[in-house]
C-alpha cells in the first residue's frame, strides 16, 4: 500500500508516526483516565499539517489521497484510536467545506479549522434514529429572514470541544431524505446547548456527546448542502470513513501484536520464554494473519477511491472484517500475556474498548451486512 504514496504523502505518514510515538502514545492513558478530549494535542497535530489532509493545497491543506490518509490514521491509532477518530471527523468536515462550501464559508471556517483554533463536528445521528440516518427529527423551519433549527443530536464525535457544527436538519418532512439540509452553525450561537459528554466504556479522547437546538437562528448563507444534496453528500463520504475505521483497527491490532511479542519474548515460565510455547506461537500467528487480511481489505478500498472507482462494497467488507478481528484478536494478544495483559500499564484494554467502539462508528457491523447482502442479491439477479 505504501507503493501508492507520493514522496510528500510518505513524508506526512512519517510525520504522523513520529507524532504518535512522541505525543499521542505517552499521553493516551492519561487522557482516558481523565476522560478528557485533548485539545492541545489537536493543536499540535495542526502544526504538523494533520488537520487538513484532504483539503487542496491552494486552500491551505495537504491535499493527500485516501490511501495516504488511511496510513496516517493507522499510525496514529496504534497509539490512540479515540484521538485519531477525532482527527478523522475534523478532517472530513474540512474537506466537505473545501469541496462544497461557498467562498464565504471557506474563508469563515477553513483557516481556523486548519490551525485547530476551531474544531469541527458532524451532527447527523439522533438518539431515536440510530442507524436509520434518514429518520432525522431535527427541524429547520423557515422564518422571515432565514431559519430556526430545533431538535437534538446524539452520539456526536468531538462534541466536548467542537466549535463548528455541520447540522443535518429536516426542512420538509413530507420529502423524506430529500428534505434534509446541512447547515454550518457555530456552537456559540444562541439556541445551541452542548450536552455533557457521555461516560462510556472507553475512548473518551473522542469527546462523544450531544447538542440540543432550541430555535437556533441560521441564514441561507449557513447552508453547506441544500435539500436533495445534503443526505446524499453525507452518504457519499461514508466509504472513506469506513475504510479509515478499518485502517485504525489495523493500527490498534498491530500495536497489540507488538506488545504481546515483546512481552512473551521476555517472560519466562517453566524454564523457558513463553514465546517458545507452540500454542502461544500459533495464537499470535493467527493474529498476524488476520491483521494482514484486514490491511489488504482496508487498502483495497482506499485504492479504489483513489482511482475514482466505486468502493461501497469494498469499504463495507473492510470495516466489518477489521472491527471484528480487532476486538477478538486483541483479546488473544492479552491472553498470551496472562494476567499482565489486563494491567492498565499496557494499552491492550484501552485498545479493546476502542475496537468495540469501532463496531458502531460509521455504520454498525449489521449495517455493513445490509450493504453486502444487497449487493449479493443484486448480482444474483443479474446472473
| 348-378 pLDDT tens trace | 999 999 999 999 998 888 989 899 999 888 8
Give the residue among 170, 115, 105 at the shortest CA–CA distance from 141: 170
Q: What is the pLDDT of residues 268-284, one digit of tens each?
A: 888 878 877 888 889 99
Write down the domain spans for the chain: 2-118, 122-228, 237-376
| Per-residue model confidence (pLDDT) at position 383 | 67
Separation CA 165–CA 185 (nearest Å): 5
Residues (pLDDT < 70) of the chain are: 1, 129-133, 383
The architecture of the domain spanning 237-376 is Up-down Bundle (1.20)
Which CATH number is 2-118 given? 1.10.540.10
CATH dotted code for 122-228: 2.40.110.10
338 Cβ contact partners less than 8 Å away, ≥ 6 residues apart: 267
At residue 108, the pLDDT reads 96
pLDDT at 131: 60
Nearest of 141, 110, 109, 137 to residue 123 by alpha carbon: 137
**Residue 194, Cα to own-chain centre: how many angstroms?**
21
pLDDT of residue 133: 65
pTM of the model: 0.93
Amino acid at each position: 500500500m505504501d507503493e501508492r504514496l507520493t514522496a510528500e504523502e510518505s513524508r506526512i505518514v512519517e510525520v504522523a508516526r513520529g507524532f504518535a510515538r512522541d505525543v499521542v502514545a505517552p499521553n493516551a492513558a492519561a487522557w482516558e483516565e481523565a476522560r478528557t478530549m485533548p485539545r492541545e494535542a489537536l493543536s499540535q497535530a495542526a502544526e504538523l499539517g494533520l488537520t487538513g489532509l484532504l483539503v487542496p493545497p491552494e486552500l491551505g491543506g495537504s491535499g493527500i489521497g485516501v490511501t495516504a490518509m488511511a496510513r496516517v490514521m493507522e499510525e496514529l491509532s496504534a497509539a490512540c484510536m479515540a484521538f485519531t477518530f477525532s482527527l478523522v471527523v475534523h478532517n472530513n468536515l474540512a474537506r466537505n467545506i473545501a469541496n462544497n462550501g461557498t467562498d464565504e464559508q471557506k474563508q469563515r471556517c477553513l483557516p481556523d479549522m486548519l490551525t485547530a483554533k476551531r474544531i469541527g463536528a458532524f451532527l447527523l445521528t439522533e438518539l431515536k434514529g440510530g442507524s436509520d440516518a434518514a429518520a432525522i427529527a431535527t427541524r429547520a423551519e423557515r422564518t422571515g429572514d432565514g431559519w430556526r433549527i430545533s431538535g437534538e443530536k446524539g452520539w456526536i464525535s468531538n462534541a466536548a470541544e467542537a466549535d463548528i457544527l455541520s447540522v443535518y436538519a429536516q426542512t420538509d418532512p413530507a420529502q423524506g431524505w430529500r428534505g434534509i439540509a446541512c447547515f454550518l452553525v457555530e456552537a456559540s450561537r444562541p439556541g445551541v446547548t452542548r450536552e455533557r459528554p457521555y461516560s462510556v466504556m472507553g475512548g473518551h479522547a473522542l469527546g462523544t456527546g450531544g447538542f440540543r437546538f432550541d430555535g437556533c437562528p441560521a441564514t441561507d448563507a449557513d447552508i453547506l448542502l441544500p435539500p436533495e444534496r445534503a443526505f446524499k453528500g453525507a452518504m457519499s463520504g461514508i466509504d472513506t470513513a469506513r475504510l479509515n475505521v478499518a485502517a485504525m483497527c489495523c493500527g490498534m491490532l498491530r500495536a497489540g501484536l507488538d506488545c504481546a511479542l515483546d512481552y512473551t519474548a521476555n517472560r519466562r515460565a517453566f524454564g523457558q520464554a513463553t514465546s517458545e510455547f507452540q500454542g502461544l506461537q500459533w495464537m499470535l500467528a493467527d493474529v498476524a494473519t488476520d491483521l494482514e487480511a484486514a490491511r489488504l481489505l482496508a487498502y483495497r478500498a482506499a485504492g479504489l477511491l483513489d482511482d475514482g472507482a466505486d468502493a461501497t462494497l469494498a469499504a463495507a467488507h473492510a470495516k466489518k472484517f477489521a472491527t471484528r478481528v480487532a476486538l477478538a484478536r486483541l483479546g488473544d494478544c492479552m491472553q498470551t500475556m496472562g494476567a499482565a495483559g489486563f494491567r492498565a500499564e499496557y494499552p491492550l484494554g484501552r485498545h479493546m474498548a476502542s475496537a468495540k467502539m469501532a463496531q458502531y462508528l460509521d455504520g454498525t457491523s449489521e449495517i455493513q451486512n445490509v450493504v453486502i447482502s444487497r449487493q449479493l442479491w443484486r448480482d444474483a439477479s443479474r446472473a
